Structure 1
Amino acid sequence: MEGELSPGAQASHQYSETVQLAISYISEHYLEPLKIKDIACHVHISPSYFSRLFKRTTGCTVAEYITKLKLRVAKELLAGTVSPLGEIAQTTGFCSQSYFTKTFKQIEGMTSLEYRRNMRMDQ
């Protein structure tokens, strides 16, 4: 996910550089409370233009991107550790284990425990 644009993203070279810079910033700071205005300031464009550009380039909003990034890290932890869900939720920047569980199921289509079990069976 880091540095990736969605398949079929239609952006000029200049736009993709701006969004790549934003993605890099997000990847370094996703555990912090990120505001669109702060990311836009980092890439030197207005927040409203940044929001539109990011969505057009990546196919998702900044908030969706950050959530997917957190879940990607969580999936790595679920597959590679025996850490409790609460610890994984906290480590990946979710405000609570219940919100983590709800978000995981909504986006991944299965609970985090089901994901962990499936990953263990595949090994």
Structure 2
Amino acid sequence: MNKLKKKDNSEDMSNSIKNNENIKNEKNFEEQKSISAEAIINKKEIIFDIPMNITIELGRSKIKIKELLNFSEGSMFFLNTKKEDPLKIFANGKLIALGEIVMSENTYGIRIISIKNSFNTMN
């Protein structure tokens, strides 16, 4: 009978240890889930803080080097776009939108008139 009691006690003890390990594993899993959610949020914050160069293209022109070397103050050359054509807006060299020039007091601005579809889907 003593042997049975000892077995029962040792089984209870091992079951208790297993239960404690399962509870610890569940807590660790929950902690990892919350940590990974925080990590994702932190990664987004890091990405949102990356600086980008915005370039507005008024137009383009192809000239020869000798024409470039003849430039001086007051020189003019013409672009391939018309006054009413939308301006191309680039972020780090990638086309993201089209816009038009607006004036605000003594500064220029750009009003966005359309956004490239792939840029919209990122939001």
- The verdict on a shared fold, with TM-score over 0.5 as the criterion, is no
**Higher relative contact order (CA closer than 8 Å, sequence separation 6+):** 1
Q: Compute the TM-score of the two structures, normalised by the length of structure 2.
A: 0.24
More helix by share: 1
More strand by share: 2
Larger Rg: 2
Q: Compute the TM-score of the two structures, normalised by the length of structure 1.
A: 0.24
